[in-house]
Amino acid sequence: MAEYSVCVVGATGAVGQEILKVLAQRKFPLAKLRLLATARSAGKKIAYGGEELTVEETRASSFEGMDIALFAGGAASTEFADAARKAGAVVIDNSSAFRLNPEVPLVVPEVNPEDVRWHKGIIANPNCSTIIMVVPLKPLHDAAGIKRVVVSTYQAASGAGAAGMQELLDQTRAVLDGEPFTPKAFAHQIAFNLIPHIDVFQELDYTKEEWKMVRETRKMFHNENMRITATAVRVPVSRSHSESINVETEKPLLPDQAREILSRSPGIVIVDNPANKRYPMPVDVTDRDEVFVGRIRQDNTLENGLNLFVAADQLRKGAATNAVQIAELLVRENLL
């Protein structure tokens, strides 16, 4: 089997650490692994495959000899992605920098794997909430045609990185102990609270996070007229996002038909037994790569409508796993 030289940019961050874990768990065929990060993290040691690797500062010259550059997100993407591409590496990028660029494919392997074929050296990983939504939407769209989507997200503190997770823990202790605290990672108290605001507000008073779900889904489904509306909410959960999705379809699709379709679809686990109180929950999906789907039921207000509740680990399928799956797809399709 051929092996490939891979670098991980942002290797010390939450997504970077998950990428390393996923590469090992999925046994990606590595000839060489290079860990890159900011100057502040350079020199750190990270264990991988029974040895200790030293983190290097990311430079334009860091990508020589690399086949794949996995960018964990952040400012490094705009600063170094082009240098990586020019050095001959295929960039798989977790930031939002390239997602809506018409020259860059935006890919979820279960949804639009064919789009990797027209890459020009950079492939974008969608937003975590978008990935979690489109994995179950695609097979339903193929079966019955989607006219409209209404989605509300319940996004964990980990979506704001390690600082968000730590703030949730610290605030929870402070509230229980009656101690004062000042929110930093979030605009408001996150402990014992919900914040209907993720990222900056943009046109029509939707947030950037909400527009990402609209525009990225349209791009991957190759349908700029697909009607999608989103509300993104931060919840006091440490890890793994959930979503309530309402779908209106062109053709009739009964809940049992939807369950059968989804149960045969890649990357999906059905957990849908209300009588026994079984449905997707963040605590059950953490550290898993699939999107869990349940509460599948008819929308009693529409002729052709369904409601779903989904949950998935946004650090894995919503970021790291999807990026590694794209790398695996490139290998299978001989596109490196």
- Residue 141, pLDDT score: 98
What pLDDT digit, counting tens, does each position of 133-149 carry?
999 999 999 999 999 99
Mark whether 139 and 268 lie in a shared domain.
yes
Name the CA radius of gyration of the chain, rounded. 20
- Residue 224, pLDDT score: 95
Domain that holds residue 100: 4-126+319-332
- CATH classification of the domain holding 140: 3.30.360.10
Residue 98 CA to residue 287 CA, distance in Å, equals 27
Nearest CA to 129 out of 281, 244, 278, 266 is that of 244
- Residue 70, pLDDT score: 98
Query: How many domains does the chain contain in total?
Result: 2
Mark whether 114 and 193 lie in a shared domain.
no
The residues assigned a catalytic role are: 128, 241
Mark whether 91 and 212 lie in a shared domain.
no
- Positive or negative torsion for Cα 74, 76, 78, 84: negative
What pLDDT digit, counting tens, does each position of 39-59 carry?
999 999 999 988 899 999 999
Average pLDDT over residues 71-98: 96
* Band (2; pLDDT cuts 50, 70, 90): confident
Mark whether 197 and 290 lie in a shared domain.
yes
Average pLDDT over residues 6-29: 96
Asked if the model's pLDDT at residue 249 lies above 70, the reply is yes
- Residue 1, pLDDT score: 67
Nearest CA to 285 out of 254, 317, 328 is that of 317
Mark whether 15 and 81 lie in a shared domain.
yes
| Per-residue exposure over 272-288, b if at least 16 CB sit within 10 Å of its own CB, e if not | beeeeeebbbbeebbeb
Mark whether 221 and 275 lie in a shared domain.
yes
What pLDDT digit, counting tens, does each position of 201-225 carry?
999 999 999 999 999 999 999 999 9
